[in-house]
Amino acid sequence: MVELVTETPSVMTLVLSATGWKGHRPGQHIDVRLTAEDGYQAQRSYSIASAPQAGRLAITVERLDDGEVSPYLAGELVAGDRLEFRGPIGGYFVWDGTDGDRPVLLVGGGSGVVPLMSMIRHRSTIGATTSMRLLYSARTLEDVIFRDEIEQVAKDGVAVYQTLTRTQPPGWTGYGRRIDRAMLEEVAWPVRDAPLALVCGPTSFVEVAAEILVGVGHDPRSVKTERFGATGG
Amino acid sequence: MTFISRGFKGRRQQPEDASRLPPGQYLVPDFPVLSAGPTPHPALNEWSFTISGEVDSEKRWSWEEFRALPSETVTVDIHCVTKWSKLDTTWRGVSLDVLLDGVETAAEYAVARSYGGYTTNLPLEDLTDGKAWVAYEYGGEPLEPEHGGPARLLVPHLYFWKSAKWVTGLALHNQDEPGFWESNGYHMYGDPWREQRYWGD
Amino acid sequence: MENRESRLDGNAIGGLLAEIFAVEMTSAEGTCAGCGSVHPIGRVEVYVNAPGVVVRCPSCQQVLIRIVKGSGRAWLDLSGTRCLEFAVAD
């Protein structure tokens, strides 16, 4: 690991250098495996946050206090430590800009924004003009990951909609509630535009969002989902 | 060379008495929830426990009848094949000796069946002589659905996958019929002290 | 609601499937032997907090795939999946 970046009080980005790494497709993840001295092992999946790049990748990890792997990754690891992982993994939950001009709706809950950020960064890197909207749900402003960068991409042609479900700061102009049908109907491209939707977050968040999108008429095959579960550990 | 993650220990506890841990097991502070599918929620007025198969006559209890049977409180150690163990867990339930009392059978094996479709096989003799219960309380509280409530099998001397959650009956057989995990790699018997995890162990 | 969070999807076992299959499998499509519905593996329901991995059909909840790994072996039960369609090089 080459670098640690603190994103929020509970979220850190780990920048990894990996010999022979050929890059990845945005949306893919890696499986990180930790091994104790006595052979005890624990493995978890982490989405890649960075845009595709040879030899280098970044994962963004939310520290869950009752978890087993995340407190080690986002708490004990220091720059220079080595990490065992495999990947890139996945091919279903990806967007790599090879889909023509089809508009893209990204819906992220909590750390579910991480693989979506890889897609947003990739869009900038390749200079794509794909119409892209991001709906990002976090608990509080403090929990918003990539806050400055999200403001920046909003100027770069990605329409950003945010909702803070628990507390909103004074003057907050975004949404202030859990994701619901009215919100998704306001944010999502109309069905006739046949957008691709990528939804990622905790299981219940993903299932609510996907159910609404399909319910308002989007093709279920165009609503791709990735569930993080509640813990991930 | 095996890769070691510097400083990684995991969330395990050191046992005070290591002799209580079967080989390859570690202690956990919490009670992990394992599930192979959606949690079933049988309504108590529709719940039943049935002993069927190679029996002279089938026996069946409603929830009310089941709860009227004599019960006992037991404190046991449990060992999950995924390598966690938990010591001194306290349960309340009905002994299988009570449920099997008066059942005439030549069968030597049983398959426990659960709401949701789960099955697991055990020799009948591992269910008798005070070794197994249908438990409905854990730690003095009604058994939570995620831990197998309203009632689960409790067979603590075997790996915990044998202690079927959401149990609704036993089918008695002359042959040992593999259950859900036993038909896909897991050991037919599953003795934690002999580390019988997989086929051939 | 409870237990809902223990349900993941096929993306979560992409790495495990990559150990077994020669092609990327989360974008493959599986036909349920029970109800006949077809779903991408990335979309199916997956339970990993269990003695093995259990994959279920999102339409009917029947078991599609079971995978157990241990002692340097793996056991793969595909009896609940009638057909798998995936991309290969021509």
Tokens found for residue B159: 């790996």
Give the whole-angstrom CA distance, residue C32 versus residue C57.
7
Query: Residue A48 in contact with residue A122, Cβ under 8 Å?
Result: no
Q: Does residue B199 carry a pLDDT above 90?
A: yes
User: What is the per-residue pLDDT across A36-56, written as a single tens digit (0 to 9) for each?
Assistant: 998 999 999 999 999 999 999
Average the pLDDT over each of A37-41, A113-117, B86-90, C12-16 and give the range with the smallest value: A37-41
Query: Residue A92 in contact with residue C13, Cβ under 8 Å?
Result: no
Report the amino acid identity of residue A53.
Answer: Q
Kindly indicate the confidence band of residue B29, based on its pLDDT and cuts at 50, 70 and 90.
Answer: confident
A28 → chain C, closest CA residue:
C11
Sequence-ordered strand ranges (E) for chain A: 3-8, 11-17, 29-35, 41-47, 56-62, 84-89, 104-109, 132-138, 158-164, 196-201, 223-227
Q: CA of C58, closest CA in chain B: separation in Å?
A: 11
Q: Does residue B11 carry a pLDDT above 90?
A: no
Q: Does any CB of chain B come closer than 8 Å to the CB of residue C2?
A: yes
User: What is the per-residue pLDDT across A142-196, written as a single tens digit (0 to 9) for each?
Assistant: 999 999 999 999 888 899 999 999 999 999 999 999 999 999 999 999 999 999 9
Give the whole-angstrom CA distance, residue A27 versus residue A198.
9
Kindly indicate the confidence band of residue B2, based on its pLDDT and cuts at 50, 70 and 90.
Answer: confident
Average pLDDT on B37-65 reads 97
Q: Does residue A231 carry a pLDDT above 60?
A: no
Give the whole-angstrom CA distance, residue C25 versus residue C4.
24
Res B151: pLDDT? 98
- 3-class SS of residue B21: coil
Residues of B in contact with C5 (CB under 8 A): none
CA distances B152 to B55, B112, B136, B157, B167, Å, are 22, 10, 7, 15, 5
Quote the mean pLDDT of chain B.
96
Q: Does residue B70 carry a pLDDT above 70?
A: yes
Query: Residue B95 in contact with residue B17, Cβ under 8 Å?
Result: no
Give percent of chain C above pLDDT 70. 94
Q: Does any CB of chain B come closer than 8 Å to the CB of residue A83?
A: yes
| Pick from C7, C10, C14: CB nearest A203 | C7
Q: CA of B83, closest CA in chain A: separation in Å?
A: 10
In the block, residue with structure tokens 């279903």: A92
Q: Does the interface predicted TM-score (ipTM) exceed 0.85?
A: yes
* Contact across the interface for A226 and C27, Cβ inside 8 Å: no
Quote the mean pLDDT of chain C.
94
DSSP code string of chain C: -TTGGGEEEGGGGHHHHHHH-SS--TTSEEEETTT--EEEGGGSEEE-SSSSEEEE-TTT--EEEEEEEETTEEEEE-TTEEEEE-----
Give percent of chain A above pLDDT 90. 91
* Contact across the interface for A229 and C7, Cβ inside 8 Å: yes
Q: Does residue C3 carry a pLDDT above 50?
A: no
Is the Cα torsion angle A62, A67, A69, A72 positive or negative in sign? positive
Q: What pairs with residue A162 in β-bridges?
A: A136
* Contact across the interface for A89 and C7, Cβ inside 8 Å: no
Give percent of chain B above pLDDT 70. 100
* Contact across the interface for B5 and A83, Cβ inside 8 Å: yes
What's B142-156 look like in SS3?
A: ECCHHHCCCCEEECC
Res A45: pLDDT? 95
Average pLDDT on A99-124 reads 96
Average pLDDT on B67-72 reads 98
Neighbours of B57 (CB within 10 A): 10
- 3-class SS of residue A177: coil
DSSP code string of B92-149: EEEEHHHHHTT------EEEEEETTS-EEEEEGGGSSSSS-EEEEEETTEEPPGGGTT
Q: CA of A87, closest CA in chain B: separation in Å?
A: 17
Res A137: pLDDT? 98
Query: Residue C57 in contact with residue C43, Cβ under 8 Å?
Result: no
Q: Does residue C75 carry a pLDDT above 60?
A: yes
Kindly indicate the confidence band of residue C6, based on its pLDDT and cuts at 50, 70 and 90.
Answer: confident
Res C5: pLDDT? 62
pTM above 0.90, yes or no: yes
Mention every residue, 6+ apart, whose C-beta is less than 8 A from residue A127: none
Average pLDDT on C31-52 reads 97
Q: What is the CA radius of gyration of chain A?
A: 17
Kindly indicate the confidence band of residue C1, based on its pLDDT and cuts at 50, 70 and 90.
Answer: very low
Kindly indicate the confidence band of residue B1, based on its pLDDT and cuts at 50, 70 and 90.
Answer: low
